[in-house]
Amino acid sequence: MRWVILDRDGVINYDSDAYIKSPEEWKPIPGSLEAIAQLNRSGYKVVVVTNQAGVGRGLFELATLERIHAKMRKLLEEVGGHIEAIYFCPHPPEEGCHCRKPQTGMYEQFAKQFNVDLDGIPAIGDSLKDIQAAQSIGAEAILVETGNGKKTLQRNPELDVPTFVNLHEAVQYILFTQG
Q: Tell which residue, 124, 135, 122, has the closest CA to residue 177.
A: 122
Which of the residues 9, 15, 126, 130 is marked catalytic?
Answer: 9
Measured between alpha carbons, how far is 78 from 85 in angstroms, rounded to an integer? 18
Q: How open is the CA angle 69-75-79, to the nearest 5 degrees?
A: 140
Residue 117 annotated to the active site:
no
**What is the residue type of 29?**
I
How far apart are alpha carbons 126 and 57 in whole angstroms?
22
Active site residue 126: no
- List, as own/partner pairs, every contact residues 23-29 make where C-beta atoms lie below 8 angstroms and the sequence separation is at least 24, other chains included: 23/64, 23/67, 23/68, 23/70, 23/71, 26/68, 26/71, 26/72, 28/72, 28/75, 29/146, 29/166, 29/167
Whether 35 contacts 174, CB under 8 Å? no
- The single residue of 7, 15, 126, 130 carrying the catalytic annotation is 7
C-alpha to C-alpha distance for 23 and 33, rounded to whole angstroms: 16
Q: Which residues are catalytic?
A: 7, 9
